[in-house]
C-alpha cells in the first residue's frame, strides 16, 4: 500500500581512401611491329627513302590524367548516390517510428489543477490515498500511511502541490519513468509571493510495482521544509 517504505518510491531533489590507378599507358592499336617513322628503302639502289615524322595526332585517345579524372568523377557520383540512398532510408525509418509512437496510447499529461478541495473539520488524520491537492500537513512523513492535515494558516511542514494520475489500464511504467513524472509535475506548480520567505524543497512520492498492482496510480509532489513545522501559510497560488 502507498505510505509504507516497501510500497512506494521517493525522489528528493532541490528546486531550481582513394582507389589505385591503372599504370598502363594508352597504346596505338595501329602501330603493329613496324618501324615507326620510316617510309621504306629502295632495295636496288640501296638508297634510303624519305622519312616522315611520327604522327602526333591524338584524336580518339585519352591522356592518363583525363582517364584518372573521369574515374574520380564516377567514384564521387557513386558515393553520392549511396549517401543519398542512406539518407532516404533513415528518413523512412524515422517517419515510420514517429507514426508508430503517435498512435501509442499515453497517460493524460495534465496534472490536476492546483486548487484545494474543501475538507471537513481540521485537523484530521487522513489516509495517504485520500490526500487532496493543496492539503497542508503537520509533522509530515511521506512514508507514513496517514498524515495529519491541518489548516494552512497554522504551523505545518509540507503542502501537496501537484498530483498526477495514470489510467487504470496502464502498465507499470518503471521506477525511472515514475520519478521523472514526479519531477515534471513539480515544474508545473505555481508558487505565491509568500513562498519566497521560506527555504523550500520538493519531494515526490510514486507507486512501487507492488502498490501499482494494488491499484495505486497517483504521483504526488510535495513542497516541504527541511525540518520542523515552520510553514505558516499556503505557498501555492490559488
Alpha carbon distance 146, 129 (integer Å): 9
Q: Cβ(210)–Cβ(119) under 8 Å? A: no
pLDDT above 90 for 30: no
Residues 186-236 pLDDT 10s:
999 999 999 999 999 999 999 999 999 999 999 999 999 999 999 999 999
Alpha carbon distance 33, 30 (integer Å): 9
Q: How confident is the model at residue 18 (pLDDT cuts 50, 70, 90)?
A: very low
- Across 160-182, average pLDDT: 96
- Residue 190, judged by CB atoms within 10 A of its CB (0-12, 13-18, 19+), counts as exposed
Neighbouring C-beta atoms of residue 235, cutoff 10 Å: 21
Q: Retrieve residue 142's grid coordinates.
A: 511521506
Residues 55-107 pLDDT 10s:
444 555 556 767 777 777 887 888 888 988 888 989 898 887 877 665 544 44
Give residue 28's pLDDT.
Answer: 45
Torsion angle (degrees, nearest 10) of CA 58, 60, 62, 66 = 110
Give residue 19's pLDDT.
Answer: 38
Dihedral sign from CA coordinates of 73, 76, 80, 81: positive
Report the chain's mean pLDDT, rounded to a whole number.
78
Percent of the chain topping pLDDT 90: 50
Amino acid at each position: 500500500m502507498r505510505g509504507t517504505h516497501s510500497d512506494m518510491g521517493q525522489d528528493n531533489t532541490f528546486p531550481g581512401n582513394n582507389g589505385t590507378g591503372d599504370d598502363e599507358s594508352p597504346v596505338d592499336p595501329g602501330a603493329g611491329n613496324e618501324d615507326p617513322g620510316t617510309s621504306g628503302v629502295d632495295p636496288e639502289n640501296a638508297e634510303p627513302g624519305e622519312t616522315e615524322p611520327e604522327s602526333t595526332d591524338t584524336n580518339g585517345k585519352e591522356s592518363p590524367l583525363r582517364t584518372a579524372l573521369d574515374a574520380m568523377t564516377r567514384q564521387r557520383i557513386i558515393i553520392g548516390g549511396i549517401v543519398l540512398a542512406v539518407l532516404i532510408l533513415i528518413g523512412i525509418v524515422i517517419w515510420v517510428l514517429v507514426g508508430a509512437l503517435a498512435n501509442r496510447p499515453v497517460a493524460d499529461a495534465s496534472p490536476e489543477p492546483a486548487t484545494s478541495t474543501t475538507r471537513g473539520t481540521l485537523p484530521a488524520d487522513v489516509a495517504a490515498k485520500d490526500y487532496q491537492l493543496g492539503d497542508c500537513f503537520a509533522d509530515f512523513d511521506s512514508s507514513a500511511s496517514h498524515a495529519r492535515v491541518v489548516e494552512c494558516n497554522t504551523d505545518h511542514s509540507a503542502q501537496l502541490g501537484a498530483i498526477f494520475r495514470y489510467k487504470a489500464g496502464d502498465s507499470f511504467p518503471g521506477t525511472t519513468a515514475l520519478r521523472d513524472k514526479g519531477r515534471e509535475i513539480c515544474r508545473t506548480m505555481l508558487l505565491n509571493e509568500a513562498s519566497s520567505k521560506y527555504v523550500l524543497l520538493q519531494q515526490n512520492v510514486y507507486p512501487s510495482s507492488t502498490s501499482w498492482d494494488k491499484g495505486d496510480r497517483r504521483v504526488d509532489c510535495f513542497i516541504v521544509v527541511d525540518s520542523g513545522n515552520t510553514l505558516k501559510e499556503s505557498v501555492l497560488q490559488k
